[in-house]
Structure 1
Amino acid sequence: MTGPTLRNFIDGAPADARGDATIDLVDPATEEVYASAPVSVEADVDAAYAAASRAFATWGRTTPADRQLALFRLADALADRAEELADLESQDTGKPRASLVADEIDQSVDQLRFFAGAARNLEGRGAAEYLAGHTSYVRREPIGVVGQVTPWNYPLNMAIWKIAPAIAAGNTVVLKPSDTTPLSTLRLAEVAAEVLPPGVLNVVLGDRSTGAALLGHPTPQLVAITGSVRAGMEVARAAADDLKRVHLELGGKAPAIVFADTDLAQAAEGIVTAAYFNAGQDCTAATRLLVHESVHDELVALVRERVATHARTGGPREPGVFYGPLNNADQLAMVSGFVDRLPDHAEVVVGGRRQGDRGYFYEATVVTGLRQDDELVQSEVFGPVLAVQSFRDEAEAIAMANGVPYALAASVWTGDHGRAMRFARDLDFGCVWINTHIPFVSDMPHGGFKHSGYGKDLSQYGFEDYTRVKHVMSFLGG
């Protein structure tokens, strides 16, 4: 079947794309086409940035109180539409419908409310005479127009992470959602138009060529992306030609490091949840299990048992399903390829196969016997595959954990407080969890090092990333 063709949302209203090409939107649970989206061209991007530029002339001068009130109203409007948004998100992604409101929609509402509060809580150095006869103070201002690209793993949530701090700081936005999951982002723009002036939030649909036009456009002074390392490097190169500020939230290869002195059953439960939530399509997912050699077999057995009883995949309306399908056919092929190419010394102890022949479902998979230079250890899979390694001591665990190109998130599981603090210090990751893995709160920063990118989402740090600092000095006379 085919469905409607979606439209861009520019200057407070739906807008037809100028190009002729379209993209089929495919239900990942059934592989059926349910709609199509335009491939927007440079003229569409020009129109969106023109609208954002006009809007910035007034929105950039609104008071923090006005911006806060608008975001509170937007949060309330999304909360009122939580069930509708969950339906759209489930349609686009195939995620289990029963848990979507609590898992994602409520979080998006909370994040909007956090940044609404942040709008009125900027701090800086006090005005004073730092030079005799002169008074200095610091202005913190919006950057201007911002270009943003969001991924398909958490379509609405990642859009909120991007637009909320930008708009709270007084910027205006042109955003491109993933070509496979645009529904909830378009609905967000429609709802936002009820409380924000036209042009403050614009959404342009399309493929990689659209994203390149959006991020390479001369108008935005900051461009932000959540996506792959490859995409992030391309954005950084393009931005360098125009000296744009860049905010990159990229891939991950998170280790969960388990010592013998922890509660192994509790660790198995937490790590299975963190490895397979959202089909492992999360850059902070526990994709590597590093376990002390003395409890390796015991923990693997506990993980295998937990996978069998709790990590079931299936359609969005099926009861008892923990995670849904992979997002698209290319992602299924990529995940399958990692497992198909395993070296002879690796062993698949559970899973390792596509589930069924309809939909992009992949079984929860555990692989043991891996070595540090194996592809499954070094490369991001972005799927429900857990790579297991053993270590002898703290030094080896740290070296193995840090010995990958990514540096976004990690966890350590231990009953020894001193060891936990040493690992919090020595793990080269932007987020370190102790005896847990994957929880987020709006108040704390999220962002990595190395190939995981730079810049912070969430928190006051994420808010400040969307501002600029200006020094003002006044001669006192006399």
Structure 2
Amino acid sequence: MDLTVGNVIDGVVRPIGQLTTDLVNPATGERVGSATLSRSAEVDEAMEAAAAAWQSWRRTTPRERQERLLHLASLIEENIDRILEAEVLLTGKPRQATLDFELRRAVDNIRFFAGALRVVPGAAQNEYAVGLTSSIRREPIGVIAQITPWNFPFMMAVWKIVPAIAAGNTVVLKPAETTPTSSVILAELAHIALPSGVMNVVLGDRDTGRLMVEHNRPAMVSLTGSTRAGSDVMRSAAPTVKRLHLELGGKAPAVVFADADIDYAARQIAEGAFWNGGQSCTAEARVLVDATVKDRFVDALLAATKQLRTGGPDDTTAFYGPVASQTQLDRVLRFFERLPRHARILTGGTSSGPGFFVDPTVIDGVNDDDEIVREEVFGPVLTVQSFTSEEEAVRLANSTPYGLAASVWTADQGRSARLSIEIDAGTVWVNCTQNIPSETPHGGFKSSGVGKDLSVYSLDDYSNIKHVLTAHR
């Protein structure tokens, strides 16, 4: 196989460029093709196409935008097998899980925004001073530069482009350089459903992303990626004072109290930690468990973990696939190599090939200041710590720089209410995990970023709020 993937600019699928990057199947470790490596000329062309399209797209009615987005959702359903094959080729994920939990959810996300854009709430027109009437308008921002990650390539592209387009903006999207194909297919389908130039895709690496962020056309930059990438974007966007929407890293705690259903909590936490190979910013990464039930919980966690195995797209018994690349595999294994002496790997800590597979790993005996506890691994790795009081549990939960998601496991409703307030995270799940409906906001606090994906709140993020004051005369 020699797959070639090029840019999509102004509705035209471009041939692969002179500069390219290799595409690798992480389930086999083999090269399967190449993709364009875009530089300033391609970025300029895409930005100008988006700017030209915005002049008319910004004036479309909510009804027209809704109809076009619903058309896009239907086109995705009609082409879902093609998208699925493109997705699993460059991610190595199990097919059925990718279909059910990513592609079909993405279709639901589009249909949600198609409805939400017609019922966005706002302040009523009113007189706040005698003889003067105030009204509030939501207006599109302009061209949005968007950068998406490799962990959920198609779904993350949908999360980025759809609220922006629904709010009346146009976009230039750069998918991760290792997983561009499904985003290119999305742009091809968008060209059928939307006017030319409303969605453009530029392929490339970190330097391509920097060119997009520093370009004078975008009014806003939206990134899903690591906290380090978010810091880079903030620096690059500062000279032109662009608006930022950043969904960044996480180190999600699962706080388990003695009155929780231990077996149920252990199964759910194991699945939340190891789903997608732990390559999710909301994945459980740290278990904090009441010391009085720690041994019983660990036994249940290990039993649950041993039921989950890694494998390629054609392995129907696999719970998750490989990590995304050789680079990511090396990163995860280096965390194991650097573990302090007091840490103990209870299960896992091993990899196998061909392909970039890492076994589900549980690590005990860690301290709060250990690297494995504080830094995002982005792999199938879960640490275990204990606490002796509710106050200590909250302190440990909030002890990392991240604040994206957390889960609390208890039968005490008062305790769950207290912790949902005290834990610094954009989402707190109580006796459940990894459930992110289209209607609910997704985004974090602290080093986990600014802004919200999904829900009507993301429409606000992609809108300018204008006050119009009219005198009565």
Residues 268-283 of structure 1: pairs in structure 2 closer than 5 A: 268-283=266-281
1:313 and 2:318 correspond: no
Code of the aligned partner of 1:5: T
Q: Identify the residue that residue 458 of structure 1 maps to in structure 2.
A: 454
Aligned Cα root-mean-square deviation (Å): 1.0
Partner Cα separation in structure 2 for residue 274 and residue 131 of structure 1: 53
Mapping of residues 180-191 of structure 1, within 5 Å:
180-191=178-189
Task: Please state if 1:347 is matched with 2:344.
Answer: yes
Separation in 2 of the partners of 1:294 and 1:230?
38
The answer to whether structure 1 residue 335 and structure 2 residue 332 are counterparts is yes
Q: Please give the alpha-carbon distance, in whole angstroms, between the structure 1 residues aligned to 2:35 and 2:84.
A: 20
Partner of 2:63: 65
How far does the alpha carbon of each residue in 1:292-343 deviate from its partner, in whole angstroms, 9 at most, with x for none? 111111111111111112x100111012000000000010001011111111
Give the Cα separation in 1 of the matches to 2:106 and 2:197.
22
Question: Is the Cα contact below 8 Å between 1:65 and 1:120 reproduced in 2?
Answer: yes
1:240-267 alpha-carbon deviations (Å, 9 max, x no partner): 1111100000000000010110110100
- In structure 2, the residue matched to 1:196 is 194
Listed as ranges, the matches of 1:283-294 within 5 Å are: 283-294=281-292
Cα deviation, residue 422, structure 1: 0.6
User: Structure 1 residue 83: deviation in Å?
Assistant: 2.0
Q: Quote how far apart the aligned CAs of 1:471 are.
A: 1.2
Worse-matched range after superposition: 196-205 or 30-39:
30-39
Q: What is the rounded CA distance, in whole Å, between the counterparts of 1:101 and 1:27 in structure 2? A: 18
SS in 2 for 1:232: helix
Q: 1:123 to 1:319 in 2, by over 3 A?
A: closer
Candidates 415, 422, 425, aligned match of 1:419: 415
- Is the counterpart of residue 127 in structure 1 residue 125 in structure 2? yes
Aligned 1:125-274 pairs, distance under 5 A? 125-274=123-272
- Whether 2:2 is the aligned partner of 1:3: answer yes
Deviation at 1:354, TM superposition (A): 0.7
Separation in 2 of the partners of 1:349 and 1:75? 44
Q: Give unpaired runs (5+ residues) of structure 1.
A: none
Q: Match of 2:88?
A: 90
Following the alignment from structure 1 to structure 2, what is the Cα–Cα distance between the partners of residues 135 and 283?
45
In the aligned structure 2, how far is the partner of 1:110 from the partner of 1:463? 16
In 2, Cα distance between the equivalents of 1:176 and 1:6? 13
2:61 and 2:245 map into 1 onto residues whose CA distance is 25
State the partner residue of 2:111: 113
- C-alpha deviation, 1:87, in angstroms: 1.3
Inter-partner Cα distance in structure 2 for 1:84 and 1:17: 20
Q: Contact between 2:405 and 2:444, CA under 8 Å: does it hold in 1?
A: yes
SS of alignment partner, residue 244 of structure 2 = strand
Shift of 1:119: 1.2
Provide the secondary structure at the position in 2 that maps to 1:398: helix
Q: Using the aligned pairs only, state the percent identity.
A: 50
Paired AA for residue 458 in structure 2: G
Tell me the SS of whatever aligns to 1:5.
strand
The whole-number CA distance in structure 2 between the counterparts of 1:372 and 1:140 is 45
CA deviation vs aligned residue, 1:131-163 (integer Å, no higher than 9, x gap): 222222111100011000000000010001100
Tell me if the contact between 2:256 and 2:408 (Cα under 8 Å) persists in the aligned partners.
yes
Distance 1:319 1:467 in 2: 43
Checking the alignment, whether the CA contact within 8 Å between 1:98 and 1:317 is kept in structure 2 is no
TM-score, reference length from structure 2 = 0.99
Q: What is the aligned counterpart of 2:401 among 402, 405, 409? A: 405
- Distance in structure 1 (CA, Å) of the matches to 2:127 and 2:288: 55
Query: Which is worse superposed, 116-125 or 312-321?
Result: 116-125
Q: Distance in 1 between matches of 2:5 and 2:254?
A: 41
Give, in angstroms, the shift of residue 221 of structure 1.
Answer: 0.6
- TM-score between the two structures when normalised by the length of structure 1: 0.98
Q: Residue 391 of structure 2: which of 383, 390, 395 is its match? A: 395
Residues 162-196 of structure 1 show CA distances to partners (whole Å, capped at 9, x for unaligned) of 00100000000000000000111000000111110
Partners of 1:17 and 1:44 within 8 A in 2: no
**8 Å CA contact retained: 2:441, 2:458:** yes
Does residue 449 (structure 1) correspond to residue 445 (structure 2)? The answer is yes
1:359 maps onto 2:359 in alignment: no
Distance 1:128 1:393 in 2: 51
What is the rounded CA distance, in whole Å, between the counterparts of 1:342 and 1:474 in structure 2?
65
C-alpha distance in 1, partners of 2:122/2:397?
37
Task: Give the match for residue 102 of structure 1.
Answer: 100
Match of 2:367 in 1: 371
Unaligned runs of 5+ in 2: none
Q: Secondary structure at the match of 1:124?
A: coil
Distance in 1, matches of 2:86 and 2:16, equals 22
- State the Cα distance separating 1:205 from its structure 2 match: 0.3
The farther-off stretch of 190-199 and 467-476 is: 467-476
Letter in 2 for 1:334: R
Cα deviation for residue 129 of structure 1 reads: 2.3
Q: Report the Cα offset of residue 16 of structure 1.
A: 4.0
Cα displacement string for residues 258-282 of structure 1 (whole angstroms, at most 9, x for unaligned residues): 0110110100110011000000000
* Corresponding position of 1:13: 12
Q: CA deviation at 1:128?
A: 2.5
- Give 1:336's aligned amino acid: L
Question: Which whole-Å CA distance do the structure 2 matches of 1:232 and 1:476 have between them?
Answer: 47
CA distance in 1, matches of 2:444, 2:264: 27
Are the equivalent residues in 2 in contact too, given 1:365–1:384 (CA < 8 A)?
Answer: yes
SS in 1 for 2:168: coil
Q: Give the number of aligned pairs.
A: 473
